[in-house]
Structure 1
Amino acid sequence: MILEDNDIQVKEIKASIEHQIRHPYLAKFIQNPVISEDKIMFLTTLVTQSDIPREKQKQYIITTMLVQIALDTHERVSISSASDSNEIEKKRQLTVLAGDYFSGLYYLVLSKLEDIPMIQTLASAIKEINELKMKIYNQDFATFAEVMEALKKVESLLIQRVASFIQRTNVNEVAGDWLLAMRLSQEQRKYQTREVAPFMELLNSSTFLKANGVQSLRMIESHIIKQLEKVSASIIELPYNFAPIQRYIQEQLHQTFHFKQQALEEG
């Protein structure tokens, strides 16, 4: 596949997903789900190298992304409080329903594919991701490193399971490190702009870290740099058929890595 074609395909798949998940009523009350182009890029590069029939490849990618969107949407559900207004409670309930709606779309698409092994692959990943999330938010980990490893799995497990399913696991390490760095960057940005950043809030209240907001931000920033350094070293080891991922990440690294490294040194 020509590299430029891969970029175009990512945009087309993202547009298809946006069309499928569009729901006028839900859009009035909850924010649109974030659709990760990073994850679409990984999936597109993986699936187009597989034995999956060409006419079904797009649906496999969309199905996996619908699972990701459903998981992400359920994660945005806030904890209820007796002092919450009716509007807040309504938004919370609609967010739950939105996650269920996206899950339903995933099952609908999968039923059309009639691929039982793929269904089992994704179902197993969903179960493990939800178990890891429960452990993270229940603070079942004793160290910062253990939490980071669990969050890495949460962010990359769907990609890695698909890679294993089609026997293209070369990309798993890069996917894990890169997607963790992107999740931490997202949490950092939301916390700094006073948006809901559940993972940052968890770190601030954790018994093992005992850090305030500023200290947590510094630890997150340092870990982002560490992950990006690992990606920068391992990306060049990927086989040539992963060239679309190599180029995509190298472009992102050029834009973000030096900026973040400079910010860390100045901070």
Structure 2
Amino acid sequence: MNSYRIPEIAKQYTEYDMIQIHTDLPDFPELRSRLLYAFLNGNTKLSPSSELYTLATSLVQLGLDTHDMVTASNEIKEKKAARSRQLKVLAGDYFSSRFYHLLSQAGQIEMIKQLSNAICEVNRLKMNVYTKMKQFKLTAEDYIHQTVEIKSQLFLSFSEFMADVYDHAWPEVLRSYTKCEVIFEEIFRAESAANFHGSWGFWHILQHGTKEERKQLNLDEADQAKVRTLLHKYNISSQLYQMLDQHVKQLQASIRQLDSDKLISELFHIGEPILRFAVKQPQVLEEI
């Protein structure tokens, strides 16, 4: 298939009334999905299955992301919140089950094995990060790196299949785009004190802040006014904009080195929203 229509196909699994009425879902992994589809279509051996592989992988990712939204505590008394939590668990399980069903129907047993191994690796990485977070041993740099690895892992499972055509281009491009995606999301998190805990800014201040500031961050209910003061003091938004600008320039240079003009054009088109956002950075930085 030449036309990318994965989100439309996925709607038959995601747009159930029960889910839409009683809970919310994470964003569809649009950027990574489009990247995978573009690379698969450029491989003559894999292109006939590009739509199937991309759909299955995106549904697994959506299932994992949905489970990540489930609150840690099961002691929810309010009926609406409890139902939302239960539906997130069920929806995540359902999306993951669709991956098995789609690939098994197509006789793609080897691909089921590849993605299943990738799911195990995602969970291993998450547990390592969770342990470091609980011990407050995570640096801001490590937070970005680990988040990129977790978000990339399912899609990286295709690296072996693409090596004969793209060599090491697929893992490099995937990780680079995913890093842009992560920094992009962190910029918006930095604009809200309510979403600050566990963000890049949180780990940066925990790493570089004073003893009193670190103590303030470790409180169960951090004072949002003080959080905003810390965000401003440490120029969190400004640093993130600079990181995005630097990485976008590196990504653009890497893409231009690819052999396929068609793929280069498609990759720039896929990353256009982030690239367009990065272009506006100088104006934003002046306002910070």
Q: Could you tell me the TM-score, scaled by structure 1's length?
A: 0.82
- Alpha-carbon distance in structure 1 between the residues aligned to 2:111 and 2:149: 19
1:103 deviates by 0.5
- The one-letter code matched in structure 1 to 2:58 is M
2:217 matched residue in structure 1:
none
**1:197 to 1:55, Cα distance in 2 relative to 1, 3 A:** farther
Aligned to 1:47: 40
Query: What is the alpha-carbon distance in structure 2 between the residues aligned to residue 205 and residue 233 of structure 1?
Result: 28
Summarize the alignment of residues 53-132 of structure 1 with structure 2, pairs less than 5 Å apart.
54-80=47-73, 82=75, 85-132=78-125
Amino acid corresponding to residue 107 of structure 2 in structure 1: E
**Residue type matched to 1:158 in 2?**
L
| 1:29 equivalent among 22, 41, 47 | 22
The number of residue pairs the alignment matches comes to: 260
Give 1:255's aligned amino acid. Answer: R
Seen in structure 2, the aligned counterparts of structure 1 residues 153 and 201 have a Cα distance that, compared at 3 Å, is closer
The Cα shift of 1:107 comes to: 1.1
- CA offset at residue 70 of structure 1? 0.9
CA RMSD between the two structures:
3.0
Alignment of 1:2-13 (within 5 A): 9-10=3-4, 12-13=5-6
- Give 2:131's match in structure 1, choosing from 138, 149, 170: 138
Q: Is the 8 A contact 1:48 1:54 kept in 2?
A: yes
Structure 1 contact 69–99 (Cα < 8 Å) conserved: yes
| Equivalent residue number for residue 281 of structure 2 | 260
Deviates more, 1:44-53 or 1:98-107: 44-53
- Secondary structure at the residue paired with 1:28? helix
The whole-number CA distance in structure 1 between the counterparts of 2:77 and 2:195 is 16
Match 2:268 to one of 235, 243, 247: 247
* Unaligned 5+ runs, structure 1: none
SS in structure 2 of the partner of residue 45 of structure 1: helix
| Unmatched segments (≥5 aa) in structure 2 | 215-226
Cα pair 2:40 2:47 within 8 Å, conserved: no
